[in-house]
Structure 1
Amino acid sequence: MTSLQLAGFGASIFIGVSLGLLGGGGSILTLPVLVYLLGINPIVSTVYSLFVVGTTSLVGSVNYMRQQQVNYKAAMVFSIPSFLAVYLTRNYLLPVIPDPVLATDAFVLSKDVAIMLVFSVVMLAASVGMIREQTGPDNPAQSAVPFDLPLIAGDGILVGVLTGIVGAGGGFLIIPALVMLVRLPMKMAVGTSLLIIAANTLIGFWSGTANLPIDWPFLLGFTAFAVLGILLGTYLTRFIAGNKLKKAFGWFVLIMGVYILTRELFL
């Protein structure tokens, strides 16, 4: 195993830890780790990312379920339009995107590069959401307000399309929606977000593997390290406030997004 491969598997633990602590954001690192550290094709990496993020989020959500920190009604209302969008994106939108996406005499934009460019923009948007302070109601009783169904459904569709294209969980969009539109306390928003991410990404994975050979020994091994990380992350929530870490992690994601954008365009 090369040093880059060792770094990739080590990074998978970090991805899990950040998911456990923050309820989102960690999944944004899965694709660049698979592409740049482990040398996997971007299109294949988006499929692998769906499995890693989905399995890891599902394991992490169990701890929140035990603490009764998952709002199942909100999860269902958000998930139905979201996983429909994931399915349609993986099966009907991605296959019709041409390769190359754009070709002129002076410039060729391949499908692989286009995916990474879209992903870098997603990272930049995610970093802004994490750097800005997100607060939720301290009193869970405040969450008993009517759902704004059109806005929640619209956000769910946006997350589903994002998940389908780049393999990210979209927690940076889900958590603010749960806090602001559903008025969930932050901890319950994190637990609910993990369940929504798990449903979206696992549906996306199983709907996108029909014609793709899967290296199961590698994928299961990589995922196992991420699961170990999320178990560690959920344990650390007893001692570390995730909100305090989110801003620092947001700056890290911002730097990574700028790096990917620069690498794909100029290097």
Structure 2
Amino acid sequence: MSLQLFNLLWVGALIGGLQGITGAGGGILAVPALVAVLGWGVLQAGPVALLGVAGSAALGAWDGFRQGLVRYRAALLMACAGVPASWLGSLLAHYLPGRLLLALFALVMLWTAWRLRHRQPDDGALPASLCPLHPETGRFVWPLRSLLMISGVGALAGLMTGLLGVGGGFIIVPALRRISPLPMHSIAATSLLVIALVGAGGVVMAGLHGLPLPIDVALPFLLATLAGMLVGRRLSRRLSQAAVQRGFIGLLCVIAGYLLLKSLALV
């Protein structure tokens, strides 16, 4: 096994594992990881990263669906709002200063991490929230306010994805944590379904735009992310809600640091 293939496999497995545990991390980590491992440009690495992230997210969402964790109606609503917003974000990216946007988003991520750090772990109750759940089924009820807020989360995630190239999970997970009483395990699984739906659309769009997808690299990377996702999902079942939340907070801080360095043109 060549050193390049070995690096490709362990990077894919790591990204899939982080996605499986936190419901985020794949989209923003995969492209710079492939650039570093393969020496590619961002445009060349993008379709391969998207395929791996979307494929592993689909597997994680299916696992969460079998456990009754995925809120699929909310995920579909967020995906429908996120796809056109992503297109808008990609247009705005040509007119707005990228470095400033990266720095601002990094600061927002750090603020989000601080807010989550001071939120108490779930105790199994369903407290009052902006987007309430049915007390018996644990599923969303759908007054107009919930429809608007859930679709707004999807639109914001899509906008940031198109604008900055960051993963939508970093918007979806803390936003759902803020506006709903869903436990972290359910939030992560629902986020994975949104990522899978939006990512699949991105893979199709990349193909329509003629971006290359080398199978000799894409297939091993996809298989590695799938393996990492399986391990991450299994590990997440053994972790408490508080441990999953702490893991997400740590990932937020690491990625925020990376974005700040990138905004200063240091990476």
TM-score of the superposed pair, with normalisation by structure 2: 0.77
**Considering only aligned residues, what root-mean-square deviation do their CA atoms show, in Å?**
3.2
Residue number in structure 1 paired with 2:65? 65
Gapped regions of structure 2 (runs ≥ 5): 126-132
What is residue 208 of structure 1 aligned with on the other side?
206
Alignment correspondent of 2:220: 221
Alpha carbons of structure 1 residues 206 and 93: separation in structure 2 relative to 1, 3 Å? farther
Q: After TM superposition, list the pairs within 5 Å mapping 1:1-267 onto structure 2.
A: 3=3, 6-89=6-89, 97=94, 114=98, 122=105, 125-126=108-109, 128-130=111-113, 132-133=116-117, 135=121, 138-139=124-125, 141-142=134-135, 143=138, 144-145=140-141, 146=143, 147-209=145-207, 210-241=209-240, 243-248=242-247, 250-251=249-250, 253-255=252-254, 257-259=256-258, 261-262=260-261, 265-266=265-266
Percent of aligned pairs sharing the same letter? 28
One-letter amino acid matched to 1:190: A
Task: Tell me which moved more, 145-154 or 122-131.
Answer: 122-131
* CA-to-aligned-CA distance 1:21-73 (integer Å, 9 cap, x gap): 11123433212212223222123333333222111100111111111111122
Secondary structure at the counterpart of residue 265 of structure 1:
coil
| Distance change >3 Å, CA 71–CA 22, structure 1 → 2 | same
Give the length in aligned residue pairs.
250
Question: Which position in structure 2 is the counterpart of 1:109?
Answer: none
The 10-residue stretch of structure 1 (176-185 or 25-34) with the greater mean CA deviation from structure 2: 176-185
- Would the aligned equivalents of 1:120 and 1:258 in 2 still touch at CA under 8 Å? no
**Unaligned 5+ runs, structure 1:** 103-113
TM-score, normalised via structure 1 length: 0.77
1:69-95: CA deviation from partner (whole Å, max 9, x where unpaired): 1112211222211122234555x556x
